[in-house]
Structure 1
Amino acid sequence: MQKIMIPCVILAGGRSSRLGEDKTQVAFGEENLSQWVFTRLSKICEKVYISTKDRKKFTFDAPFLVERSRIYAPIIGMINAFEKLKTQEILFISVDTPFVRGETLRQLVDSDAPITYAQSEDKAHYLISKWHISLLDTLVWARKSKIYTIYQIIQSHQHTSVSASNEECFNINTQEDYARALELLRLGAK
């Protein structure tokens, strides 16, 4: 199957406070989580980048988009990506959602809405999403206004969602989540 041509940015600039350790660096299979997600998404998308505050902590080669802001919020990485990549659309995937499927990413890409996100049976997943550059000014305004929640931005703009499974949207936030993700990986979730 042909690779997705719009850039994919892995958002990896968070604090990982609920996990208690840097989630980008936790062991995942034969690699760390960030390398595993990067390798996996590189098989689906032509161009994959990692947005982070600290390039030095990564031991593998990848294109990094270094965030200069001290603010820990996904919109910082999103603004940074649009400003550096200068592209019309970007897929954003949080580093802590390792199981998102290529089929779901293709559905995001195929949507014409300015914001399209994954929706599982019980929850919206705003960090598995595609955004159009027309939202950059809104993201910048939100940062200046100290409105860091993606939900508020999405609810005030045209958006749509695509269906996704709970498993592929599984998000690693706590040690219990991490243990469950390792179990899903062992059972063959890809």
Structure 2
Amino acid sequence: MKPQFNIPCVILCGGKSSRMKEDKSLLPFANKTSLAKYQYDRLKPYFKEIYLSSKTDKFDFEANLLLEESLIYSPIIGIDSIISKLNKNDKIFLITVDTPLVEIDSISKIINCSKGYDITVAKTQRVHNLCGVFSSNIKHIVDNMIKNDIHKISHLLEAVRTNIVEFTNEDEFINLNHPKDYQKALNIIS
């Protein structure tokens, strides 16, 4: 199958997982050894390139890695590192490892709605700041935020041309932050 999305996908796996109390990217999911493997295998056929962004190579499978050098846990630092390493790409699709139920059709809708915008993200009852298309032309704004010690994604979304794409299925965008969220997602997928 030829990839349908002509942009790279980066799965963000570098968070602290403090609310889960263990590294959620390594939790088993569905029929895979980890959430990271599940997301990687699920999304790989649809994108021209796919990467895992992480602070270390902690995975039990072969994958294209984008390792973050910073010891600071911040999505802004992660975005800066990703854009720096994939600077040949105009746009990049980002998704967190802990949103395993986002449908390919929804990803397609987000990508299709990204034309003319710096960032295009999903929204259900809340905005899903790290599920969307990010243009590499935001690098100077990201650099400035880091210089000024501003690490909130919402600040970035306000500083650029952002398109917010509405979705109604809350379960599709469930974020596995707590053990109960993980259990709910396991029940949905089975």
- TM-score relative to the length of structure 1: 0.93
Question: What do you get for the CA RMSD once the two structures are aligned?
Answer: 1.2
Instruction: Indicate the SS of the match to 1:71.
Output: coil
Hey, what does 1:157 align to over in structure 2?
A: 160
Hey, what does 2:64 align to over in structure 1?
A: 63
Instruction: Indicate the SS of the match to 1:80.
Output: helix
Hey, what does 2:37 align to over in structure 1?
A: 35
Unaligned runs of 5+ in 2: none
User: Per-residue displacement from partner, 1:98-136 (whole Å, max 9, x unpaired)?
Assistant: 01111121122222211100011x111011011111101
2:108 corresponds, among 101, 106, 113, to 106
Aligned partner of 2:131: which letter? I
Unaligned runs of 5+ in 1: none
CA contact 1:104–1:162 (8 Å) conserved in 2: no
Aligned partner of 1:148: which letter? H
1:119 corresponds, among 123, 127, 132, to 123
- 2: CA distance, partners of 1:85 / 1:131: 12
Residue 2 of structure 1 deviates from its aligned partner by: 4.9
- TM-score relative to the length of structure 2: 0.93
- 1: CA distance, partners of 2:97 / 2:71: 19
Instruction: Indicate the SS of the match to 1:65.
Output: strand
Distance change (3 Å), C-alpha of 1:2 and 1:85: closer
1:183 corresponds, among 171, 180, 187, to 187
How many residues are paired up? Answer: 184
Percent of paired sites with the same residue? 33
CA contact 1:116–1:162 (8 Å) conserved in 2: yes
**Post-superposition, which runs of at least 4 consecutive aligned residues in structure 1 deviate over 2 A?**
none
Residue 153 of structure 1 deviates from its aligned partner by: 1.1
Hey, what does 1:167 align to over in structure 2?
A: 171
Distance change (3 Å), C-alpha of 1:182 and 1:118: same
Hey, what does 2:140 align to over in structure 1?
A: 137
Aligned partner of 1:124: which letter? V
Instruction: Indicate the SS of the match to 2:143.
Output: helix
Hey, what does 2:15 align to over in structure 1?
A: 14
CA contact 2:3–2:48 (8 Å) conserved in 1: no
CA contact 2:122–2:131 (8 Å) conserved in 1: yes
